[in-house]
Structure 1
Amino acid sequence: MVEGMLALVATLAALVGAGLLVQSTLKERRAHLAVWSGALVLTALGLAGMALGSFGGFSAGAFRLMAVTGGLLAPLATAVGLIELTAKPVQVRFAARLVGISYGLVALVVLVLDPLSTSSTPESGLPNPGDVYGVLPGSLLTGATVLTVLALIAGVATTVVRTQNRDKSAYPLMLPAALATVAGMINVIAVGWLPGLLKIVGLAAAAGLIFFAASKTTAESAEDDAEDAEAEQEAEDEMAFDPPHRPHQQPPRNTQGMRRPEPPQPPMPPQQGGRHTGQRPMPPQPPAGPPTQAMPPMQSTGPVAPDDWYATPPPQPAQPPMGPYGQIVVYTLLDGREQAFDRQVNQLIGEAVRAEDGILIFTCHEVEGAPTQRISYQLFRDRASYNEHQGRPYVHRFHGESRTHVLATNVIDLKLTGGSLPVLR
């Protein structure tokens, strides 16, 4: 009775956890969450078979339910989910799916249709599948155990190698990978070899570890979403407060210069009636006395020395025309962010080519054999066109939004030194 109640509670808990993971899967669309949701459902079915056998005796149906779901399919699903989480090459993930599905289907058919050993079929208690099945089903269960253990070890080893290579995207996967590995090992050992109550406890513990591992990956995804939202907000703030960029213009040259002050003029001779007809005030009159001759006007003794500060600036030599200016940017992307980055860079290229006449070439390439590498090549008519391009709002927006997808960048500036360019635009 105690075993049955414990198995029933564990079944309900596993089903609740599976429902939560299904919700996360529908929201995030990540393959490992879908596979681990299936693993929790299979574990719950295995626990349900244990509960039915504990309450009413192990019939053939209850035993097959426990052995097929809890002992065969659930460990395989746990291992395939771990490969989906840790392996970067698509070929490896596809191979894991192919092997897991094909082997699981073949073993499922054999374990369901193969007759049980009637002499070893228990009436009560929790049996080990190896004691009840024949040679062929037992061999298939052993093969599933070997495949599960090898896949779990490969998943953990892949994560360790990626972290040693300083792959930043692998650091958050260390704990989920370790938890999933422990869960798969416990599942295999519990169903295959542990007796009685420990079999239920082990299978329930495996379900809890799977749920916790999946929850850690969803938490990391939520943090990434928060960082993306923060980066977008920063980009919008920069666009809101960034003044419109204007191409650099030299101030108009003053070809007329500043007005040169006139040299000092001698005082004008007095006119009739003692009145002065010039612009300057009349100098003081001498006291009355014998008549005197009028002072002759002052003569210039030579040219006036020029004043350099007031002089017209000399003409500037004409600047030689600047040649085409180019730039190559090598992007190293985070795993799983390739499609999002490609969408953003394609949008940037489309807007830039439509709006700017100074762009000669603007392309982005994917490197063969390196799916996380992107190489952007830009060629402008001159440096001024490049500076104008960098001040565009959509360029600021791209820099703000793409930083969450990029692990590292390498910028190479180019200057045309020879050859000729065709008319591209």
Structure 2
Amino acid sequence: MVTVGLAFVSALVGWSATAALAAYAQRRPGVAAVAWLVAALGMTVGLSAAVVGAMFDFGDLTFRLLQIGVSLIGPLYLGWGALEYAVRSFQGRFTSRLFVTAFTIVPLVVLSVDRLSGRFGAAYPGLADHYDLIPRVLVNGAQTAAVVFLAVALVAAARRRGGDRVADLSVLGLVALSLVLAVTVGRLGLGPGGPVLMLGAVAALWGACALAARPRREDDYDDYDDFDGYDDYDDDYDYDDAEAGPAASMEEPVRRKRRNADTYADHQGGAPVREAAPQRGRGVITIYTLAEGQGSGFDQLANAVVAHVAEHEPDTLMFACHTVPSAPLQRIVYAMYRDELAREEHERQPHVVEFARRGAAFVVATNVIELSLSGAAASDGLAAMLLPH
């Protein structure tokens, strides 16, 4: 009865986690979220079959469902979701999808129809207790692929710069824990200890997804709740107002005192005198080469950041994204700043940092050309053309 109770609790937690992941994947659609949802669903179906097996002894169907969910679907999609979460390379993601397809279909068919041997009991059975050599080899291959996916994701997250690295490594650490526990139970069974470890595996995955959805905080970041254009993508980038206090959502974009600005406190009489300082415009041309079929997603991000720059960056004199009729997979972003300080302020803005982070999922190559203004002419209608009302 202890095993039955533990199996029931682990299955109940599994369904709760699956429901939570389904809600998150619907609200913030993304490949990583869907992959982890499939992993949770696979493990939960296996755990539900294990409840029946623990109550009435395992049989062919309950054993197969348990092993397919815990040994195959769970680990494979945990690892793949980790790679999709951490790796921005289109080629890497495409290759991983090919491997996931191969390591899902073939082992799934073999595990469903291959002959079983041995006698069943009420305890969680191990993979080798009833499957022959070929199913074990296929499962080993799928689990090895999952470990490779996870290792690549950890390396990519560790090499990333910025405040997101620690959070990403924490998410991947919990995913790794879930994967290890699922593989251990699938291989060894462990009797009454099996449902306990699977409870930990499901809880770790639940925690990883909750942490991935948790608001990211940087020293200078604003609340992104009112930033239209990013809400359709796979990461939740809202601030935790409970931690930041009631004024969190009222923060302004990053502003720094300009080098040639004066304050009355700097002068002990009379009006402030502004020191002469040359204003040398700075420009940057960034050429993005997009992955096939990613133009719409990139354009939504670009339109959102253009609107935010226009509203909050008076010293960014121009920020425009151009399509290239002769090259549909290219986008050219042209930016002109009042001076070097204005450029620095622009690059530190939360919406710009978020644009670079999210845009990497759509881009396969980037070329940057820096410009220093030596002379210019512009018509009075330039602003009206670029920013129509």
2:63 matched residue in structure 1: 63
2:130 matched residue in structure 1: 132
Q: Report how far residue 416 of structure 1 moved.
A: 2.9
Residue 70 of structure 2 is aligned to residue 79 of structure 1: no
Amino acid of the structure 1 residue aligned with 2:284 = V
SS at match of 1:226: coil
- Give the Cα–Cα distance (whole angstroms) in 1 for the partners of residues 223 and 335 of structure 2: 31
Q: Report how far residue 404 of structure 1 moved.
A: 5.3
Q: Report how far residue 201 of structure 1 moved.
A: 1.3
1:216 matched residue in structure 2: 211
1:276 matched residue in structure 2: none
2:151 matched residue in structure 1: 153
Equivalent residue runs for 1:407-422 within 5 Å: 412-416=371-375
- Give the Cα–Cα distance (whole angstroms) in 2 for the partners of residues 74 and 95 of structure 1: 20
Residue 284 of structure 2 is aligned to residue 343 of structure 1: no
1:90 matched residue in structure 2: 90
CA 1:407 to 1:145, structure 2 compared with 1: closer, same or farther past 3 Å? closer
1:40 matched residue in structure 2: 40
User: Radius of gyration: which is bigger?
Assistant: 1
CA 1:330 to 1:121, structure 2 compared with 1: closer, same or farther past 3 Å? farther
- Give the Cα–Cα distance (whole angstroms) in 1 for the partners of residues 301 and 183 of structure 2: 41
- Identical-pair percentage: 21
CA 1:206 to 1:331, structure 2 compared with 1: closer, same or farther past 3 Å? farther
Residue 184 of structure 2 is aligned to residue 189 of structure 1: yes
Gaps of 5+ in 2: 227-246, 256-279, 289-293, 312-316, 324-328, 358-367, 383-389
Residue 328 of structure 2 is aligned to residue 328 of structure 1: no
- Give the Cα–Cα distance (whole angstroms) in 2 for the partners of residues 167 and 400 of structure 1: 14
- Give the Cα–Cα distance (whole angstroms) in 2 for the partners of residues 157 and 406 of structure 1: 23
- Give the Cα–Cα distance (whole angstroms) in 2 for the partners of residues 145 and 400 of structure 1: 42
- Give the Cα–Cα distance (whole angstroms) in 2 for the partners of residues 5 and 232 of structure 1: 45
Amino acid of the structure 2 residue aligned with 1:13 = V
SS at match of 2:334: strand
- Give the Cα–Cα distance (whole angstroms) in 1 for the partners of residues 350 and 162 of structure 2: 21
Equivalent residue runs for 1:373-392 within 5 Å: 375-378=333-336
CA 1:362 to 1:192, structure 2 compared with 1: closer, same or farther past 3 Å? closer
CA 1:339 to 1:89, structure 2 compared with 1: closer, same or farther past 3 Å? farther
- Give the Cα–Cα distance (whole angstroms) in 2 for the partners of residues 85 and 195 of structure 1: 31
CA 1:12 to 1:31, structure 2 compared with 1: closer, same or farther past 3 Å? same
- Give the Cα–Cα distance (whole angstroms) in 2 for the partners of residues 123 and 362 of structure 1: 68
CA 1:135 to 1:400, structure 2 compared with 1: closer, same or farther past 3 Å? closer
Amino acid of the structure 1 residue aligned with 2:302 = D
- Deviation string for 1:24-62 (max 9, x for gaps)? 111112321221122111111111122111110111011
Paired residues of 1:231 and 1:401 also in contact (CA < 8 A) = no
TM-score, normalized by length of structure 1?
A: 0.60
Which stretch has the larger CA shift, 170-179 or 74-83? 170-179
Q: CA RMSD in A?
A: 4.3
Equivalent residue runs for 1:15-414 within 5 Å: 15-117=15-117, 120-162=118-160, 166-220=161-215, 226-227=223-224, 229=226, 327-329=282-284, 339-344=299-304, 363-364=320-321, 375-378=333-336, 402-403=351-352, 405=354, 412-414=371-373
- Give the Cα–Cα distance (whole angstroms) in 2 for the partners of residues 76 and 207 of structure 1: 14
- Give the Cα–Cα distance (whole angstroms) in 2 for the partners of residues 211 and 78 of structure 1: 12
Paired residues of 2:285 and 2:369 also in contact (CA < 8 A) = yes
2:272 matched residue in structure 1: none
TM-score, normalized by length of structure 2?
A: 0.65
- Give the Cα–Cα distance (whole angstroms) in 1 for the partners of residues 49 and 305 of structure 2: 53
CA 1:235 to 1:341, structure 2 compared with 1: closer, same or farther past 3 Å? farther
Q: Report how far residue 71 of structure 1 moved.
A: 1.1
- Give the Cα–Cα distance (whole angstroms) in 1 for the partners of residues 62 and 109 of structure 2: 16
Q: Report how far residue 329 of structure 1 moved.
A: 3.0
Q: Report how far residue 171 of structure 1 moved.
A: 3.3
SS at match of 1:220: coil
- Identify which of structures 1 and 2 has the higher relative contact order when contacts are C-alpha pairs closer than 8 Å and 6+ apart: 2
Size of the aligned set, in residue pairs, is 303
Gaps of 5+ in 1: 239-324, 352-358, 380-385, 391-395
Paired residues of 1:126 and 1:196 also in contact (CA < 8 A) = yes
CA 1:342 to 1:208, structure 2 compared with 1: closer, same or farther past 3 Å? same
SS at match of 2:372: strand
SS at match of 2:116: coil
Amino acid of the structure 1 residue aligned with 2:283 = I
Amino acid of the structure 1 residue aligned with 2:354 = H
Paired residues of 2:50 and 2:62 also in contact (CA < 8 A) = yes
CA 1:138 to 1:233, structure 2 compared with 1: closer, same or farther past 3 Å? same
